[in-house]
Structure 1
């Protein structure tokens, strides 16, 4: 294998010159970046930097106005969002999205059933053997096995976020996209989520949008910094921390 081919195989996701406009407003401008397989990459930036827009482009929710998105070497720029899970990409949103009146186990089982039986999500459980066992495996992975019989609405906020990640894992993704996974969490919940993300990254690639600098610097292999819709800097946490432009426009004295 050539050096260039080996380097390419290490890249799971790539954007080339991605831009996104909403009317006359340009939310993203010519963003090119590579995301390495098996790494935790965080996307950071001030409010209005374009983080959420970029996340939505990466996850297929928005088609870019210009540019190209590639997943494992395949052009997925215009692939419908509902096909992403079947390609190996799963996501968890900033706003928790669970079924509050179902138990924790049932929430994950629905996710599994939707993936296994794409066009018949509510097919009787008996016709899809092994779903309860698999659901329990995923609940154990995200630390919720002992809450498996609890209604989702009875879970603490941090537990609901972990449940949503468990539902995303139902598709057995190679790439997991997390949008502000610690939003609204207490310091203790944040630490639990940070440990979970690190554990999940041992078997899959993780890309997250996050604003808590201490968490980002503590768990990321690589960081992308957006500013006014443009890629301001990228590198390891140490490189980003020492970048003069980043310190001037974003980090400064705000890190805590």
Structure 2
């Protein structure tokens, strides 16, 4: 297809996304657009299809039907490892760091991977520059004081922040976060939501979450999935006033 102008108000679109696992349909004909420069939350009760949707738009799963369009280009079926070079970074629900390395080493390796995977002859000056970039990213996510701590010794919330710092190594235009507060204490959750808000000032963020109240105060745009289908989308006020959304969330005590 012919690429659209990058001035398109939507950075990424899902067009008619269906995903089946055998006879089970996890997503059914979902079409949504994500505004550039905004924080969009994809919400819905457990089992709504949110993580499957995240996996499709992040390239982990190919859709059974439909397309994913990023900045005007069809990226459906693009290998996951190519996403960072397109300007898309992601942080999954399960923390993915190198536990035996320090926080600084984790982020520096992520930066090195963006320059050359197999370059063992990197000049020392370049490594110093990467080290400084890694330090800046740790500062950004609030881990300045933990640079020399091994990742395995960080608290759960700190490990999630470290993973986000690693995702930011490619300086993405689009950051995808799958339930970034999963397993966190209330205190850790507040710190993470504040971090996400700051990150969204500099780039487009798509956040997958099942706790509606958690994202209502920070999101510009919300998409509600239910039983694998699009239930509603709009501003937080639109979603609060939507009768179908209220019905779906009734009895979902923690939401």
TM over 0.5: yes
Pair 216,122 (structure 1): closer, same or farther in 2 beyond 3 Å: farther
Pair 123,224 (structure 1): closer, same or farther in 2 beyond 3 Å: farther
List alignment gaps of at least 5 residues for structure 2: none
TM-score between the two structures when normalised by the length of structure 1: 0.93
Query: Cα distance, 1:105 vs. partner?
Result: 0.2
Query: Cα distance, 1:127 vs. partner?
Result: 6.7
Pair 164,183 (structure 1): closer, same or farther in 2 beyond 3 Å: same
In 1, Cα distance between equivalents of 2:144 and 2:39:
25
Q: CA RMSD in A?
A: 1.8
Correspondence 1:1-256 to 2 at 5 A: 9-117=8-116, 119-120=117-118, 126=124, 128-129=126-127, 130-251=129-250, 254=253
Is residue 16–residue 31 contact of structure 1 (8 Å, CA) maintained in 2? Answer: yes
Query: Cα distance, 1:7 vs. partner?
Result: 11
SS in 2 for 1:196: helix
Query: Cα distance, 1:252 vs. partner?
Result: 5.4
Deviation sequence 1:161-220 (CA, Å, 0-9, x none): 000000000010000000000001111111100110000001100001112222211111
Pair 125,255 (structure 1): closer, same or farther in 2 beyond 3 Å: farther
Is residue 15–residue 67 contact of structure 1 (8 Å, CA) maintained in 2? Answer: yes
In 2, Cα distance between equivalents of 1:57 and 1:207:
13
Is residue 113–residue 122 contact of structure 1 (8 Å, CA) maintained in 2? Answer: no
SS in 1 for 2:96: coil
In 1, Cα distance between equivalents of 2:254 and 2:153:
33
Deviation sequence 1:226-252 (CA, Å, 0-9, x none): 111100000111111111111111255
In 1, Cα distance between equivalents of 2:98 and 2:7:
39
In 1, Cα distance between equivalents of 2:30 and 2:7:
18
